[in-house]
Amino acid sequence: MQNIYNKYKPYFFTITKLSMPIIIGQIGIVLMGVADIVMIGKLDATNLAAAGLANSVYFLITILGIGTLTAVSPLVAKAKGAGHVNDAALLFRQGLWASLVLSLFIGIVVFVLTWNLEWFGQAQEVTVLTKSYLHILNGGTIFMLLFLAAKQFSDGLSITKPSAVITILGLLFNIFWNWVLIYGKFGFPRLELDGAGYATSLTRVLMAVSMIAYVLRRPMYKQWLHVKDKTQGFVLFKQIFTVGLPSGMQYFFEVGAFASAAIMIGWFGKEQLAAHQIAINLASVTYMVATGISAGGSIAVGDAWGRKHKHDLMLSGRAALIMSVVFMGVTALLFAVWNHFFVGLYISDEYVGGMAANLLLIAALFQLSDGIQCVSLGVLRGIADTKMPTVITIIAYWIIGIPIGWILAKYFDLTLYGIWFGLSIGLTFSAVFLTIRFLKESREFDFVEEAKKQYETLVH
């Protein structure tokens, strides 16, 4: 064990240094969702169910944009590692353009879905509340993606602290305005669920403006913002989508599976949907830490790829996987032992709380799988391997997870628990095959062959 630690120690340190600010930022983002759910949960189960449905529908579509923009940081890291300053500068600009294009597409799709929520077959009172809330969230999408584009650029340069600080400030801003607008403080009207939507959208405006202004003004970014040659601009714009869109689809199929799970659970009743929303909100906190490790691993792998250092590439990816196993193992124990305590922070309804506590026991079972598959996707993204992982994701969730979950729920009378068991099986399949994929690809990586392909691309 000591030999393994010594072997990976410098890589643990590098990934921790890269990922800690990202993790803080990711937790800040998810805590905004936690704050929303806790404050909305104090209203009633109907509002909580509406928030759950809205978030499921909204993130089902916006995750395409979020996932696509994750390509920016490893591409910037590769450019930085190779010393290609002009490419890094162009990636900042093209990342912002990509966020604008993505927000237009996402905004239209979410708008159409919002006007047709009846398609999801939920309770009428839940659908009415959801519709207004979704319109408000949709208005802040463009600012969320602009923030993420600037953040990914900064992360790719290994400057990860600014986005974390801005996210924490955004969290405090969001909590305050949640309190003011949900409950009607300081003379503001009591807007309840809509108030949470307005607070979220205002927070996204603040974060986008702050992040972009910081990048443009701080000296540490200056050398990476100077464009000498714009001819490669469109090539890099396409590369963001070439590498990022499959990543977006990976996230889409994963989030889509959980969104579909929420919709199916809603068919069993609004109390079941409320319980699901509490449990998935708690599980998302630990998942965000895994995504931070994934991002750190992706940047470290991308940097090694840019330096053409195969040994560092292999060990950076493996170190990130080991870190995910350790962290998610601890959180599995926490969920198993303190499930009732965590649920009690959200709601006092014993019936809903009891179901949510049971779901946390299932969440404890899939923590390791969730963390490993998340980090595997990140380190594969670091070497621009996104197409086969997308296929694995589709199989895991849509051929295995969702069908098995529905069979257990419907035909074995396990209702919401059956759906969660199905998702757990899908996550485990994804974790196993994505890990095998990275270990195989990293061992066989050939920098000579890659250079040959790049030369042929330039020639043709």
Taking only the tens place, the pLDDT of each residue in 438-453 is 999 888 776 555 554 5
pLDDT at 455: 41
pLDDT in tens, 41-74: 778 778 888 887 887 788 888 888 988 998 898 8
pLDDT at 450: 52
Average pLDDT rounded to a whole number, residues 203-221 = 94
- Beta carbons within 8 Å of 399's beta carbon, 6+ residues apart: none
pLDDT over 60 (residue 380):
yes
pLDDT at 446: 67
Lowest mean pLDDT among 150-159, 176-185, 241-250: 241-250
> For the CA atoms of 54, 59, 61, 67, what is the dihedral angle to 10 degrees?
180
pLDDT over 90 (residue 151):
yes
Relative orientation angle of helices 387-394 and 415-444, to the nearest 10 degrees: 160
How many residues does the structure list for the chain? Answer: 460
pLDDT at 399: 95
Q: Looking at mean pLDDT, say which of 110-114, 306-310, 311-315, 334-338 comes out highest.
A: 334-338
pLDDT at 460: 46
In this prediction the pTM is 0.74
SS3 109: helix
pLDDT at 459: 42
Burial class (CB in 10 A: 0-12, 13-18, 19+), 127: middle
Average pLDDT rounded to a whole number, residues 210-220 = 94
Average pLDDT rounded to a whole number, residues 356-374 = 94
Where is 300: in which H helix or E strand?
helix 270-307
pLDDT over 70 (residue 458):
no
d(CA 176, CA 336): 32
Residue type, position 415, single letter: T
Residue with tokens 């977006």: 248
Burial class (CB in 10 A: 0-12, 13-18, 19+), 449: exposed
Alpha-carbon torsion (394, 402, 103, 37), positive or negative: negative
> For the CA atoms of 55, 59, 60, 61, what is the dihedral angle to 10 degrees?
130
- Beta carbons within 8 Å of 413's beta carbon, 6+ residues apart: none
Mean pLDDT in the chain? 87
